[in-house]
Amino acid sequence: MSYTTVEAFTGDFTLQEPLTEDAINAVTEVMRSGRLHRYNQASDGLSVVSRLEAAYALWQQQNYCLACASGGYAMATALRALGVAPGDPVLTNAFTLAPVPGAIESVNAKPILVEVTEDLVIDLIDLTLKASQHPGSVLLLSHMRGHLADMHNVMQIADAHNLTVVEDCAHTMGARFDGERSGNFGKIACFSTQTYKHLNSGEGGFLTTCDKELAARAVVLSGSYMLYERHGAVPSREVFDSIRLQTPNCSGRMDNVRAAMLLSQMQQLDENLRRWNERHAAMREVISASSRLVLPNPVESSVRIGSSLQFRAPWLDASGCQAFVEHCLVLGVELKWFGNPTPVAFTSQHGSWTYVEPQDLPKTDAVLATLFDVRIPLTFSVEDCRHIGAIIGEVAARCE
């Protein structure tokens, strides 16, 4: 196959923006101080991590926030704080990334996978069925690739079956449903600040909640020792009194160096969310001109942050999908194919999580079979995003 109309793209899909000078100065200041550990404070003053927690709680419009080692750690901590026991069922979407079933496995619970729709959100019919089979369980709802379900309907189903909802907001920091921030619907929300997320500290995460007892448990679980009063967004001392000696320490704290990068980045967060959406809209507009490619429709009242874009090529079989990826790569566009039977890089295929009991998910399998993913780093301009969209459209026109 040869391409005549579109030039190859030469940008780097793995390249995130560098830290700003302000962030570098903030990190350097921490390193110069020698006080890298969150509890290594001379006085009663708040550490950088604690100040970050206060700032994030305010931005997220949530009462309590814990900064920790990763998004995966936040999810495992949420499940522990809720008292999920070995063998307990935990519902989650079948289309998510491996850290989600991984968090469930880390507390020896049993992932029950729920189908996803063509719009890449949890299937409410299958959720209702599985919720009725496992009443009183936890739903770890992963807003995979930023697609938000109708959260009013999800919460209605959860309430009807006494499910406790934990939101995995690794891809929805800043997204909203019906005006409310993603993460403020369930009991607990978990965020990631790993390199490809909306805040980037290489590794890191947040757990937020409005429940004071869950917040206290999460803080002690994260490894606060008896120093929890030095946190920036925690409930009062009395809340800790009843749980502090009964709650194990499973260290996963954030350090002051990462926190300094994040605290500084928070100043650009809203503007960066806008920049992502501008780029996503440009790429989406070009791709939507292709009559062959199918883009997921946003659920009404949801506002997504477009740090990646997904589309389906429904006419292709498996070898056609593989060829699609290869042709795009020749033109400099890196795609991920979610239907790949061989796990490559980040795994999102439930079949490749062999530690999870195999489950019958025909709807999800049909969606993933021809689903592709493009990362949108902010190092790309709006014009770059149009260029990438044009390449994808051109390959789609020629790939049989």
Ligand X SMILES: Cc1ncc(COP(=O)(O)O)c(C=O)c1O
| 101 is a contact residue toward ligand X (CB under 6 A) | no
The residue among 83, 74, 137 whose CA lies nearest residue 110 is 137
Cite the DSSP H helix spans in the chain.
21-33, 48-60, 71-81, 99-106, 124-133, 151-160, 212-221, 237-241, 256-287, 318-330, 362-369, 382-398
* Binder of ligand X out of 80, 161, 171, 181 (CB under 6 A): 171
* Residue 97 binds ligand X, judged by CB under 6 A: yes
Joined together, the tokens standing for residue 76 give 């495992």
- Looking at the chain, how many residues does it have? 400
Instruction: Measure Cα distances from 17 to 8, 200, 202, 258, 260 in Å.
Output: 22, 9, 12, 16, 17
- Confirm or reject binding of residue 252 to ligand X (CB under 6 A): no
Smallest distance, ligand X to C-beta of residue 311, A: 18
- Among 79-87, 167-175, 330-338, 377-385, the segment contacting ligand X (CB under 6 A): 167-175
Taking CB under 6 A as the criterion, the residue among 182, 192, 209, 307 binding ligand X is 192
- Exposed e or buried b for every residue in 328-360, given b needs 16+ CB within 10 A? beebbbbbbbbbbeeeeeebbbbeebeebeeee
Residue 389: what are its φ and ψ, rounded to 5°? Answer: -60, -40
168 binds ligand X (CB under 6 A): yes
Site string for ligand X, 123-162 (x = CB under 6 A): -------------------x-x------------------
- Name which of 142 and 224 has its Cβ closer to ligand X: 142
Indicate whether 194 belongs to the interface with ligand X (CB under 6 A): yes
CB atoms within 10 A of CB 123: 23
Is the CB of 102 or the CB of 314 nearer to ligand X? 102
Amino acid identity of 230? R
On whether the CB atoms of residues 59 and 243 are closer than 8 A, the answer is no
Residue 127 Cβ vs ligand X, minimum distance, rounded to whole Å: 17
Task: Report CA-CA distances (Å) from 348 to 12, 36, 197, 214, 218.
Answer: 22, 35, 17, 29, 27
Locate tokens 């196959």: which residue?
1
Site string for ligand X, 350-369 (x = CB under 6 A): --------------------
Of these, 23, 82, 170, 175, which contacts ligand X (CB under 6 A)?
Answer: 170
Per the DSSP assignment, residues forming a β-bridge with 116 are 122
**Interactions with ligand X, residue window 288-317 (CB under 6 A):** none
Q: Which is nearer to ligand X, 118 or 373 (CB)?
A: 373
Q: Which residue stretch of 121-129, 164-172, 241-249, 382-390 sits at the interface with ligand X (rule: CB under 6 A)?
A: 164-172
Q: How far is the CB of 393 from ligand X (least distance, A)?
A: 27
> Total number of residues binding ligand X (CB under 6 A)?
15
Task: Find the shortest distance in angstroms from Cβ 286 to ligand X.
Answer: 25
Specify which residues 371 forms β-bridges with. 312
- Please report how close the Cβ of residue 88 comes to ligand X at its closest, in angstroms: 20
Nearer to ligand X, 147 or 279 (CB): 147
Secondary structure class of 135 (helix, strand, coil) = coil
- The 50-79 contact track toward ligand X, x by CB under 6 A, reads --------------------xxx-------
Sign of CA dihedral 302, 308, 312, 317: negative
Which residues of this chain interact with ligand X, rule CB under 6 A?
70-72, 96-97, 99-100, 142, 144, 168, 170-171, 192, 194, 205
